[in-house]
Amino acid sequence: MNIKALLVDGDPLIYGAMVSIGLVTVAILFLLTYFKKWGWLWREWLTTVDHKKIGIMYILSALVMLFRGGMDAMMMRVQLAFPDLGFLDSQHYNEIFTTHGTIMIIFMAMPFLIGLMNIIVPLQIGARDFAFPYLNALSFWAFFMGAMLFNISFVIGGSPDAGWTSYTPLSGAAMSPGPGQNFYLMGLQLSGIGTLATGINLMVTILKMRAPGMKLFHMPIFTWSTLVTSFIIVFAFPILTIALALLTIDRIFGSQFFTLTGEGLPMMWANLFWMWGHPEVYIVILPAFGIFSEVIATFAKKRLFGYSAMVWSMIIIALLSFLVWVHHFFTMGAGAFVNSVFSVSTMLIAVPTGVKIFNWLATLYKSKIEFSVAMLWALAFIPSFILGGVTGVMLGMAAADFQFHNSYFLIAHFHYVLIAGTVFACFAGLVYWYPKMFGHKMNERIGKWAFWFFVIGFHVCFFPQYFLGLDGMPRRLFITNVVEWLPLNVISTVGAFGMGIGFAIFVYNVYYSYRHSERETTGDSWNGNGRTLEWATTTPVPYYNFATVPHVDEIDPYVRMKKEGKTTFDEPNVKPIHMPSYTGRPFIMMAFLGLASFGLVFEWIWLAIVGLIGGIIFMILRTYDYDEGYYVSVEEIKRTERKARGL
Amino acid sequence: MSEEVKTTGPLEYRTNEGQMTILGFWIFLGAEVVLFSTLFATYAVLFGRTADAPTPAELFEPGTVLIMTFLLLTSSFTCGLAVHEMRRGSVKGLTRWMLVTLVLGLGFLGFEIYEFIHYAHEGATIQSSAYWSGFFILAGTHGLHVTLGIGWAFALLHQISKRGITNVTSRKFFIISLYWHFLDVIWIFIFTSVYLIGMVL
């Protein structure tokens, strides 16, 4: 295959994208060279095993992906508001809704939340790092390579175009020849392996590395949500691994799992996909619940109402999440009995979720609410998410679903839960923990502008879509010039651009705050209202996190520590701290596996084998790796802590 | 990262790191259970969908499969003996029993490869029907695990011969023994739900 056949051509939008990608790449290379930052990049970031830095890389990648997915969304909205303009053709539209969905779920929502977990969970439980820091770096680079692989598809080889659910037989070799679907399969496979490893890593970290005395029911609620999420990851992701592998083997090696020939069963894909896909929804919503719980408790300045009920409702949601997958295809024809069972299990989820909503309201009740930006996101979440949840119950009624299925009613529903739930939580969590990560807050005034633009834009964009759906507008349709649909589509597009402006302001705020925000002097950034251990560390957090780990025997331990004047620097008891060494191997190993995946995308088996051999060599190097890390000396800890605490 | 080292109990559990790694591996095995369950479910759904290819009842031979089962189950036992020798602190005993284990594992693999080639000659390949896709991927995934396990075990034996039995090497060896027993358990399910049922139905 020559280079001309490899590159996607014929569309001015894609030429524009190619030029801008080229320019940005050249600019980055130039800046790194000009400021002599290559060594810094390698030493501080590419080889890091520090959970805080890995978390920052996750969040940065997620923000870039949010931009990419957001651009896709804008392009779709332009097409739908002006269907006669010929802005996108049908093929391009198919590719865009596919990449939009895939990127937002797999490469934006999950990495964003995993990034926050990376940074915050060890700090909340009094740990020095993850249980397996090397594996953590491996996970990040797996995600990163997967994301890059997926994203180059639109300039090299062509994007996948069978929807983010990639239903067979449409996505099979017969109906979707070419590399597009392979990009989807390999990109998800690679990053999925990383997610699974993160799930295991977080589980062991939380189960084994808590501060002395901290029982499971003393843990901060965000850590609880992470633990429950990790369980879901460990039990759901292998299903995706297999589903993707089977479809890959179908497409590349000619097996017959999902084909129309050889007695294959195309609908088995839908089952496998959603047996992972529905738990996946809870993987991205439970951590969001955790973030809101933390933010609400901090800015309502009291203990979270109904802590145990919150925990148990998360556990019940996690169990139920595995028992509802059929509601994604009630119309498949599984029969009245099966549909009824899944209808009931679906509606049951509303019960624990309702418990959580009332607990948040009860926490707010009669409290002195501080309307900071993080709190605004949390407060906007509650009513918006309820709208999404209630329409979810409507969709869950099997009989009614035959009317709503695949209409814009569904589109509106899941954007209401995923944006109002997950995206709002990502913003709330980022703003809330920003001072912990970077040593300064995000500007509150600009943050409020971003908030209002985004939230109002969100409702203007998606509320009309409920009615478009009820008027019969189906999803994934690129020509919508039905007169009755047009006004609402135009309104919806206006809202989408409002969200875009909100996001732009948010990003500008990152730059503005970096330049102008006051630097933090204490670790307890939010007016001394911090309740959990992450606020007990200094800001910026020293790389070993805690000089001495406090003894914990209650929920919100930092409240009492502050009263008793205790800190995480108990000078007489400082001991040398064991830390893992930095290593570039995870990065290189995943680059090899990324190469192997790239080879499989184009079905160049020799390249896949080369990459795989490289990966295996690095696995062997790993098993021969007896690097035991190093110790931070007591003097160095004392020096660092004294300086940071102004002693 | 705690640095305290216990002085009693099995070597692999004495450091915090050892305990965490073993727990992590148990959780990984939990994920592996889900992975194989998905493959079993896929196989069950596709059962009977052989299209124009031969049916399993025509191809499966009790003899070969029994020998394979015998080899793998025995290897699990000898792997247990190797761990027992490790607890006694005998590098020699560990190596001897693990080599027996690996020879048995290689024997298993040899029969499996022979079996697959035989089926392919009879017209049952991964491409011939949905059922055979399911069969080859399920049994093949298990076989791939065995292959990886053998390579991994050789690397560990090499490390143990150089470093002796320490907190770290015993942890590594204990983990591969868990892995090996796990593959045995999976094989028992393959033996019953694939071969036995396949021969009867």
Residues in chain A with CB shorter than 8 Å from the CB of B156 are 623
Q: How confident is the model at residue B6 (pLDDT cuts 50, 70, 90)?
A: confident
Structure ipTM over 0.90, yes or no:
yes
Q: How confident is the model at residue A516 (pLDDT cuts 50, 70, 90)?
A: very high
Q: Which residues of B touch A (CB under 8 A)?
A: 1-3, 16, 19-21, 23-24, 27-28, 30-32, 34-35, 38-39, 42, 45-46, 49-51, 126-134, 136-137, 152, 155-156, 159, 163, 168, 172
Q: Minimal Cα–Cα distance from A380 to chain B, Å?
A: 37
Residues in chain A with CB shorter than 8 Å from the CB of B30 are 234-235
Question: Which of A124-128, A194-198, A568-572 shows the lowest mean pLDDT across its residues?
Answer: A568-572
B7 falls within a domain = no
Q: Do B20 and A241 touch (CB under 8 A)?
A: no
Nearest CA in chain B to A628: B168
Is the distance from CB of B30 to CB of A237 less than 8 angstroms?
A: no
Question: Which of A16-25, A375-384, A513-522, A577-586 shows the lowest mean pLDDT across its residues?
Answer: A16-25
| Cα distance between residue A343 and residue A255, in whole Å | 34
Pairs across A and B, CB distance < 8 A: 128
Residues in chain B with CB shorter than 8 Å from the CB of A574 are none
Residues in chain A with CB shorter than 8 Å from the CB of B20 are 131-132, 204, 208-209
Where do the domains of chain A lie?
A: 290-519, 523-579+636-647
Q: The dihedral of CA B22, B26, B27, B32: what is its sign?
A: positive
Q: Do B133 and A255 touch (CB under 8 A)?
A: yes
| pLDDT at position A520 over 60 | yes
| Cα distance between residue A226 and residue A230, in whole Å | 6
| pLDDT at position A541 over 80 | yes
pLDDT value of residue A12? 77
Closest Cα partner for B5 from B158, B198, B171? Answer: B171
Q: How confident is the model at residue A595 (pLDDT cuts 50, 70, 90)?
A: very high
Q: Which residues are CB-contacts of A351 (< 8 A; sequence separation ≥ 6)? A: A316
| pLDDT at position A83 over 70 | yes
Q: Minimal Cα–Cα distance from A581 to chain B, Å?
A: 13
**B9 three-class SS:** coil
Q: Do A254 and B136 touch (CB under 8 A)?
A: no
CATH of the domain at B102: 1.20.120.80
> What are the Cα distances from residue B122, in Å, to A177, A262, B66, B115?
30, 17, 20, 11
**A519 three-class SS:** strand
Average pLDDT over residues A144-169: 92
Q: Do B168 and A204 touch (CB under 8 A)?
A: no
| Cα distance between residue A168 and residue A175, in whole Å | 9
Is the distance from CB of A123 to CB of A545 less than 8 angstroms?
A: yes
| pLDDT at position A499 over 60 | yes
Q: Do B130 and A259 touch (CB under 8 A)?
A: yes
Is the distance from CB of A375 to CB of A316 less than 8 angstroms?
A: no
| Cα distance between residue A297 and residue A371, in whole Å | 12
**For A242-285, how does the pLDDT look when each residue is reduced to its tens digit (9 = 90+)?**
999 999 999 999 999 999 999 999 999 999 999 999 999 999 99
Q: Which residues are CB-contacts of A25 (< 8 A; sequence separation ≥ 6)? A: none
Q: Do B38 and A624 touch (CB under 8 A)?
A: no
B192 falls within a domain = yes
Q: Minimal Cα–Cα distance from B141 to chain A, Å?
A: 10
| Host domain of residue B185 | 12-200
Residue A407 has phi, psi (to 5 degrees) of -105, 175
Of A209, A256, A577, the CB nearest to B133: A256
What's the mean per-residue pLDDT of chain A?
94
Nearest CA in chain B to A247: B133
Is the distance from CB of B144 to CB of B65 less than 8 angstroms?
A: no
Of A241, A576, A580, the CB nearest to B35: A241
| pLDDT at position A5 over 70 | no
Best of A242, A325, A574 to mutate (most B CBs within 10 Å, chain B): A242
pLDDT value of residue B2? 47
Q: How far is C-alpha A387 from the chain's CA centre?
A: 22
B143 falls within a domain = yes
Q: Minimal Cα–Cα distance from B85 to chain A, Å?
A: 22
**For B60-88, how does the pLDDT look when each residue is reduced to its tens digit (9 = 90+)?**
988 999 999 999 999 999 999 999 999 99
Nearest CA in chain B to A576: B3
pLDDT value of residue A3? 58
Q: How confident is the model at residue A4 (pLDDT cuts 50, 70, 90)?
A: low
B5 falls within a domain = no
**For A138-147, how does the pLDDT look when each residue is reduced to its tens digit (9 = 90+)?**
999 999 999 9
Is the distance from CB of A153 to CB of A183 less than 8 angstroms?
A: yes
B131 falls within a domain = yes
Q: Do B130 and A623 touch (CB under 8 A)?
A: no
Residue B26 has phi, psi (to 5 degrees) of -60, -40
Question: What token pair was written down for A229?
Answer: 């999420």
Closest Cα partner for A600 from A269, A188, A259, A143? Answer: A188
pLDDT value of residue A645? 86
Q: How confident is the model at residue B12 (pLDDT cuts 50, 70, 90)?
A: confident
Q: Any idea how long chain B is?
A: 201
More confident residue, A539 or B102: B102
pLDDT value of residue B1? 42
- Residue A407 forms beta bridges with which residues? A474
pLDDT value of residue A232? 97
Best of A240, A244, A256, A545 to mutate (most B CBs within 10 Å, chain B): A256
Count of structural domains within chain B: 1
| Cα distance between residue A475 and residue A163, in whole Å | 11
pLDDT above 90 covers a percentage of chain A that reads: 86
Q: Minimal Cα–Cα distance from B55 to chain A, Å?
A: 13
B1 falls within a domain = no
pLDDT value of residue A17? 79
Average pLDDT over residues A231-249: 97
Q: Do A208 and B46 touch (CB under 8 A)?
A: no
Question: Which of A4-8, A489-493, A519-523 shows the lowest mean pLDDT across its residues?
Answer: A4-8
Best of B27, B131, B154, B170 to mutate (most A CBs within 10 Å, chain A): B27
| pLDDT at position B29 over 50 | yes
| pLDDT at position A577 over 80 | yes
> What are the Cα distances from residue A385, in Å, to A235, A425, B71?
26, 11, 57
Of B2, B24, B168, the CB nearest to A200: B24
| Cα distance between residue A565 and residue A278, in whole Å | 46
3-state secondary structure A575-591: CCEEECCCCCHHHHHHH
Residues in chain B with CB shorter than 8 Å from the CB of A615 are none
| Cα distance between residue B153 and residue B147, in whole Å | 10
Q: Any idea how long chain A is?
A: 647
Residue A50, amino acid: D
Nearest CA in chain A to B4: A578
Is the distance from CB of B51 to CB of B147 less than 8 angstroms?
A: no
Q: Which residues are CB-contacts of A256 (< 8 A; sequence separation ≥ 6)? A: A250, A262, A263, A264, B51, B127, B128, B129, B130, B132, B133
| Cα distance between residue B90 and residue A526, in whole Å | 59
Question: Which of A8-17, A257-266, A600-609, B3-12 shows the lowest mean pLDDT across its residues?
Answer: A8-17
Average pLDDT over residues B142-160: 97
pLDDT value of residue A154? 83
What burial class does residue B23 get, using C-beta atoms within 10 Å of its C-beta: 0-12 exposed, 13-18 middle, 19+ buried?
Answer: middle
Of A262, A624, A629, the CB nearest to B129: A262
B67 falls within a domain = yes
pLDDT value of residue A557? 94
Nearest CA in chain A to B156: A623
Closest Cα partner for B186 from B21, B28, B34, B63? Answer: B34
Q: Minimal Cα–Cα distance from B39 to chain A, Å?
A: 7
Other Cβ atoms within 10 Å of A196 Cβ, number: 24
Average pLDDT over residues A591-595: 96
For A290-519, CATH number out of 3.40.920.10, 2.160.20.10, 1.20.210.10, 2.170.190.11 equals: 1.20.210.10
Is the distance from CB of A563 to CB of A571 less than 8 angstroms?
A: no
Rg (CA), chain B: 19
Question: What token pair was written down for A66?
Answer: 């949010």
Of B45, B136, B156, the CB nearest to A268: B45
pLDDT value of residue A2? 56
Q: Do B24 and A204 touch (CB under 8 A)?
A: yes
Best of B13, B26, B39, B133 to mutate (most A CBs within 10 Å, chain A): B133
Best of B15, B36, B39, B127 to mutate (most A CBs within 10 Å, chain A): B127
